[in-house]
Amino acid sequence: EATANQIAAGEVVERPVSVAKELVENSLDAGASRITVELIQGGLSGIKVIDNGSGMSPEDAKLCFQRHATSKIKTAGDLTRILTLGFRGEALPSIASVAKVALVTRTRDDLAGTEVRMEGGQLLSVSPAGCPVGTTIDVQELFYNTPARRKHLKSPNAEAGQISDLFAKLALARPDVRMELRSNGRVIFCSPGNGSLRDAAASVFGPDNVRSMIEMNHQGRLLTIRGFISKPVLTRASRQYQNFYINQRYIRSIFISSLLLQAYQTLIPAGRFPLALLHIALDPEQVDVNVHPTKMEVRLAREKELAEELLEIFSGHLNVPAA
């Protein structure tokens, strides 16, 4: 069991940014409207995630470190329409197997909270704790018991930089949630969390860039799409300024990126890429997120029809014929 968790940890937790991602996704799944992440030494010494979500009952708090103890999938049918960010029940046991973890949590219905301490996959203690509604997870000394993995970590600054990029993506995914990132006690990023995609985009891309972009708000046959694409004059030499979300999940997608490029084809020089922030809403049954443990790659059903529709929408907003 302990070994299985460490092996799974190899897939899910590679470095501080993967820990931060899994923990913040859990906070989002718990319905939090405020999430704060505190890093010490870029997360190498400590990553603490504080949320005001649903919290866990004392029983669930003990269970959550057991493998596949997800509360999110109850039937096989649920797997075909995944609405939560997590569903594998692997993150917490994996993280707890390679770090020292303290969880403090309380639901609205419980008078007292619970504190659970884990170290290297072993349960150290469970005790009542006074705390507000929500969950705080403190992960210390990541990979303290797997020195081989510890060696692969970069400098605190480099690790913090990756987490800061993650925050930008998350803030764009959920403009309705206020997210704050602190590093060694200093606030390094904070999203407005007021529900406006434009304001979230401004906090990441800068207000001037967003003002000069083309806004999309389109209800199509298969999908709904909203967001911003750059005017053809605003391009970059890489695709890294393209952010795609399907049903509020950040994804990597060569598929969408190529369609976008196809629409811009006659308008921009080769080797340049438009900026984009796209939120696509699709029937969850059409999206298979169970392709890779990090869930960043998805498989889409009816790709051909989707491609046609997307190209039509992009071209329409750029006033070029859909090639």
Strands (E), 97-208: 100-106, 113-119, 122-129, 134-140, 178-183, 186-190
Q: Which does 102 bind (CB under 5 to 8 A by kind): Mg ion, ligand ADP, none?
A: none
* Residue 258, token pair as written in the block: 């190529």
Window 14-43: residues binding ligand ADP (CB under 6 A):
22, 26-27, 29-30
Judged by CB under 6 A, does residue 135 bind ligand ADP?
yes
Instruction: List Cα–Cα distances, 141 to 12, 18, 101, 180, in angstroms.
Output: 17, 14, 9, 22
Q: Which does 57 bind (CB under 5 to 8 A by kind): ligand ADP, Mg ion, none?
A: none
Q: Smaller CB distance to ligand ADP: residue 53 or 58? A: 53
Q: What is the DSSP letter of 248?
A: T
Radius of gyration (C-alpha) of the chain in whole angstroms = 21
β-pair partners for 300: 287
Q: How far apart are CA 211 and CA 287, in angstroms?
A: 32
Q: Smaller CB distance to Mg ion: residue 167 or 273? A: 167
> Contacting ligand ADP (CB under 6 A), which of 16, 42, 43, 53?
53
Q: Smaller CB distance to Mg ion: residue 116 or 313? A: 116
3-state helix, strand, coil split of the chain in percent (to 5) is: 35, 30, 35
Q: Which does 56 bind (CB under 5 to 8 A by kind): ligand ADP, Mg ion, none?
A: ligand ADP
Tell me the closest approach of the beta carbon of residue 126 to ligand ADP, in angstroms.
Answer: 15
Window 56-95: residues binding ligand ADP (CB under 6 A):
56, 60, 64, 69-72, 86-92
Tell me the closest approach of the beta carbon of residue 72 to ligand ADP, in angstroms.
Answer: 4
Number of residues counted as binding ligand ADP (CB under 6 A): 24
